[in-house]
Amino acid sequence: MSREEKLERIKSHQRYHSIEIEPELVTPGAHPLGELRQVLEHVKLPASAEGLSVLDIGAWDGFFSVEAERRGAERVVAYDLTPEDHFGFARVKELLGSKVDYVQGSVYELRREAVGSFDVVLSVGDLYHLRYPLLALDRIHDVCDNYMLLETHCLDHCVLLDDGQAMTLERIDPRLSRIPLYRFYPANELDGDYSNWFSPNRRALEDGLRTVGFEPTLLSEWGDRIAYKAEKLEGVPEYLQETYEGLFVRDADGVVRNACGRTRPARGSSDVEPSDLSGVGTR
């Protein structure tokens, strides 16, 4: 395909991501190439992904999928709700001669039996769009063999009050950053987008990742965004061990027990004493 033909194809469709097809030939996206490359720096996608399998959740037209392939990933799956030609992924794949596989599906339906397992899972700009964020993390844990790179909106530096004013948790009360919090956006309060549901603070993100079986390491914070590397832990995820989410069976003695059982010491639910929270919300 000639450069002129590629240019015509690029111009014919507006995209979400800006993707470099070849030097000085970039798809017109809502997010410019420079911005997306900065996100790559924040999430620390390995410069060499040689031999790795990578799952890109919420791939849209494929910027992060293509980048993983360019960095040498052995297998890349772009995963999203819509058909591959809806946001232009199919056209980008054709223009690049890419071998990235596209799988249509919901994050809540992720299963090893359906998509296999992956060394690295990318969840970039997805979590706050999910009505059931912990369920999504459970499903990601099931298909992740090594670690997840997670980037999301974060509450600590951007709390939207009921009058639309943006505030930091620190300014409202310094103690709030020490307890796990989610701000629920039932309509389009966050960025005018009805698909934005929850914004967690750092503590909620880290505690949530640990309960589903990941150990988070903070990579970067900028503006109202945050990025983590979440390494998969060995053993049964914490939420299955002593909650009603686990598998319950009747033992030979007739007693019904959680079949998972506790495999590691329980973590404290919070290091904030109840007395420390007196006066929160009374100003």
Q: What is the pLDDT of residues 65-99, one digit of tens each?
A: 999 999 999 999 999 999 998 888 998 999 899 99
Q: What is the pLDDT of residues 206-239, one digit of tens each?
A: 999 999 999 999 999 999 999 999 999 999 998 8
Taking residues 47-52, report their average pLDDT: 97
Strand partners, 57: 79, 123
pTM of this structure? 0.87
Q: How many residues does the chain have?
A: 283
Cβ atoms 6, 20 nearer than 8 A: no
What percentage of the chain exceeds 90 in pLDDT?
Answer: 68
Residue 221 CA to residue 56 CA, distance in Å, equals 21
pLDDT at position 209: 98
Which residue(s) pair with 215 in the sheet?
A: 231
| Class of CATH domain 3-233 | alpha beta
Long-range contacts of 268-274 (CB under 8 A, 24+ apart): 270/178, 270/179, 270/180, 271/178, 272/175, 272/178, 272/179
Query: Does residue 241 contact residue 195 with C-beta atoms inside 8 Å?
Result: no
CA distance 30 to 33: 10
Q: What is the pLDDT of residue 14?
A: 61
**What is the model's pLDDT at position 267?**
63
- Average pLDDT taken over every residue of the chain: 89
CA-CA-CA-CA torsion sign (264, 140, 203, 183): negative
Burial of 181 (0-12, 13-18, 19+ CB in 10 A): middle
Q: Are 101 and 82 in contact (CB under 8 A)?
A: no
